[in-house]
A and B are shown apart, each in its own frame.
Chain A
Amino acid sequence: MKFVDEYRNPELGQVLAERIARTVDPGRHYKVMEVCGGHTHTIYRYGVDDLLPGNVELVHGPGCPVCVIPMGRVDDGITVARRPEVIFSCFGDMMRVPGGDGTLLEAKAKGADIRMVYSPLDALRIARENPDREVVFFAVGFETTAPSTALTLMRAKAEGVTNFSCYCNHVTIVPPLRALLESPDLRLDGFVGPGHVSTVIGARPYEFISADYGKPIVVSGFEPLDVLQSIQMILQQLAEGRCEVENQYKRVVPYDGNPAALRVLAEVFELRPHFEWRGLGFISQSGLKLNDAYAEFDAELRFEVPGVRVADPKACQCGEVLKGVIKPWECKVFGTACTPENPIGTCMVSSEGACAAYYNFGRFAREREVV
């Protein structure tokens, strides 16, 4: 298939693997974080890590938007969803994310009107079709999905739709990267930078990673050769003593992003003073909320949202997985109590979650590694 086969060519993969083997210093251990869950998925689906030397370790970052949702936010969503006048809409597997008080799917089974949508525009359509109901959209995701929410809200405002609102859980990618770089228990050598987030924000916002922290970052595509080439570029920088922002995904990512998308984000959203991330705690200016001009569409203002805070289950180690401190199979409940069918932690829910990627692609029989 055009645009796909070129990036899955096994011979080229072998060439890159050999080049990586020549680039690394055998006496050094390398820790490279892939920030985005999409990359985690590619790495384990295609076995990219099997092509790497043993001293190159991939650490899975917090870039799956579902995995970073704290349980309390799910519980708040369920509280809104249970209201009799509400039709609650959300993306697919968000329904399976466990809160402290069950999942949206369980709430639906008990009678709440919860509907899966593929885009916020679908939710707006439901609102138009049900003028006597309140339609709430559970907005989640990084800068990739936030423009879609913003455009939908601009459309709702222009059309004068009054029975539509947004429970906003959008987050931004740069603050958690800074938090990870500041984290004392995690020493990283470089980053495979998120691809599609960068189509919106560009590669320029990552310059602090090289300028302030002296680490290389390479914005990467999602095909296996993309990821392999990005890892090679990071290792090449390290071998040459460089730390720069490089863009492997130039065929898609402009260095300055999509200015029109950035404008609609600025039109609708403002930064929250702080937002809770699963496993990472509160990170300042990392979450988005609707600004004053769109406050009428803010579900948190329209409905009583309790603001629940729930500690993660003791057995669940999603936080350490999200920070890359442990590998998924090192979690006590991985593959036993916690499976994609019955997830305890969010990392097992989404197919982009590190634990689900390991589980689904047979990466659960490894020896515990001491890093």
Chain B
Amino acid sequence: MNSFHCVTCSDEGVPMRVAALHDDPDLAICVDDDGARTEVMTALVENVQVGDRLLVHAGTALLRLDGEPEATVPRESSA
């Protein structure tokens, strides 16, 4: 979590990787890009596995960030 992260409300998605599953099926231990470990609620994302990359808001995973990022070469406009 860098100094530009908004800690005011945690209303900013933090990408995290699942490091370990939890005894509670709706929780997982996740690690952010800086190595900080957090318990994250995963009830809103199906079938979370170790190694999955999740978008986490306020301690809850909202979705899985899977696959390669789409090409960022912008589409040429028709105009």
Please name 24 pairs of A and B residues whose Cβ atoms are closer than 8 Å in the assembled complex, sorted by A. Answer: A3-B15, A9-B72, A12-B74, A16-B74, A45-B4, A91-B7, A92-B8, A93-B9, A119-B59, A119-B60, A121-B41, A141-B58, A144-B58, A144-B62, A147-B44, A196-B57, A196-B62, A200-B62, A229-B74, A240-B78, A261-B62, A351-B5, A352-B8, A352-B12
Instruction: List A residues at the B interface (Cβ < 8 Å).
Output: 1-3, 6-7, 9, 12, 15-16, 19, 22-23, 37-38, 41, 45, 64-66, 91-94, 118-122, 140-142, 144-145, 147-149, 151-152, 155, 195-196, 199-200, 222, 225, 229, 232, 236, 239-240, 250-252, 254, 258, 260-261, 264, 349-352
Give the residues in chain B near A120, CB-CB below 8 Å: 58-59
Known A-B contacts A121-B39, A151-B41, A236-B77; the reply to A140 vs B72 at CB < 8 A is no
Interface size for B (C-beta < 8 A) is: 37
Instruction: List B residues at the A interface (Cβ < 8 Å).
Output: 4-13, 15, 26, 33, 38-39, 41, 43-46, 55, 57-60, 62-63, 65, 67, 69-70, 72-74, 77-79
A9 to B72, CA, bound (A): 9
Return A95 CB to nearest CB of chain B, in Å: 9
Question: Closest B-chain residue to A223, C-beta based?
Answer: B72
A145 to B8, CA, bound (A): 12
Give the residues in chain B near A147, CB-CB below 8 Å: 44, 57, 60, 62
Give the residues in chain B near A140, CB-CB below 8 Å: 9
Give the residues in chain B near A236, CB-CB below 8 Å: 77, 79
Return A60 CB to nearest CB of chain B, in Å: 15
Give the residues in chain B near A94, CB-CB below 8 Å: 8-9
Contact A118 B6 (CB under 8 A): no
User: Which residue among A41, A91, A229 has the maximum number of chain B CB atoms within 10 Å of its CB?
Assistant: A91
Known A-B contacts A118-B59, A148-B57; the reply to A93 vs B8 at CB < 8 A is yes
Contact A151 B43 (CB under 8 A): yes
